[in-house]
Every structure is written in structure tokens, then in C-alpha cells.
Amino acid sequence: MAVNNELFKGTLQTIILNLLAENDRMYGYEITQKVKAVTQGQLILKEGALYPALHKLEAEGLLETSTEVVENRVRKYYALSKNGEKEVVNKLQEAKEFIAQLQLLLNLKPSL
């Protein structure tokens, strides 16, 4: 069953930051494919949502960018900045606390 994408919109920044913490640098398409692969196709990250989130994180100074010419085209890579490295820890903690509250609110038991 596919997960409702609306449910993960609020955690999109956390997902991006965490993916970049696990991978040195990534480009937009790579991020969408990674999300798809990790969730086995349950979550589809649309470009229309991904790029605004990436740009916002970049403008906030949490991401750094670099470009590289790959197969005669310019590819833009995103990586965590120093501030981003700190922020990912906070964001993950926030997400964990939120999930814990959700479990309480919805009477869900964490899967073992």
C-alpha cells in the first residue's frame, strides 16, 4: 500500500538532510531515486516538492552546492554545510519526538 505523500511533506526537510548526512553529496534526481529505493516505491518524492525544499535549505545556509559537468551537462550537487550538519541532529530528534507523540495519540504500537 502506497503511503499518502501528504503525510511526509512536513518531514521532507528532515528526510533530505538525513539523506545528505548519509551520503556526502547528492543531486536532485539521485535524491528522488534514493527515497523511492529505500521505501521500496511506497513514497514518491516529486520534483515539484523536492526542489523548493532543496532551494529553501540552501537559502537558509544548511546546504552547500557545487556543480560538475557530467556527460556534457551541468549537474548541481547538494551537500550539508557546517550548519546543516548541526541541524540534521536537531531535525532528527524533533522527528523522533513527533513520531513518539503520534504513537501515543493514535494508540499505535511501534513495530518490533
Partner 1 sequence: MELSSIEKEEIGAYIFTIGKYIETYNEVYDHVLNTLVELPGAYHLNLVQQIIEVDFGGTAAIRKQENIYQKQIKRRYLKLMGLEMLYTFKLRHILPNLILLLLCYVLYVNNTNLSVLFKTIYLAICVLIVLAGVFCIIYRYIIHRKTKKDSIKSELIFGLLFLPIGFINILFNVVITKENTSIAVNTQHIILLALFFVISIYIRAFMKLYTERITVLAI
Residues in contact with partner 1 by the rule CB under 8 A: 27-29, 46-48, 51-52, 55-56, 58-61, 65-67, 70-71, 73-77
Gyration radius of the chain's alpha carbons: 15
Q: Please name every residue paired with 73 in a beta bridge, in sequence order, or none if there are none.
A: 70
Nearest residue (CB) to partner 1, 59 versus 112? 59
Spatial separation of the C-alpha atoms in residues 39 and 25, rounded to whole Å: 20
Taking a C-beta distance cutoff of 8 angstroms, is the pair 47, 28 a contact? yes
Between 34 and 92, CB nearer to partner 1 = 34
Lookup: cell for 60? 537558509
Least distance to partner 1 from the beta carbon of 39, Å? 17
Contacts of 24 (CB under 8 A, 6+ apart): 79
Closest distance between partner 1 and the C-beta of residue 10, in Å? 19
Minimum distance between the CB of residue 7 and partner 1, rounded to whole angstroms?
19
User: Is the Cβ of residue 6 or residue 107 nearer to partner 1 in the bound state?
Assistant: 6
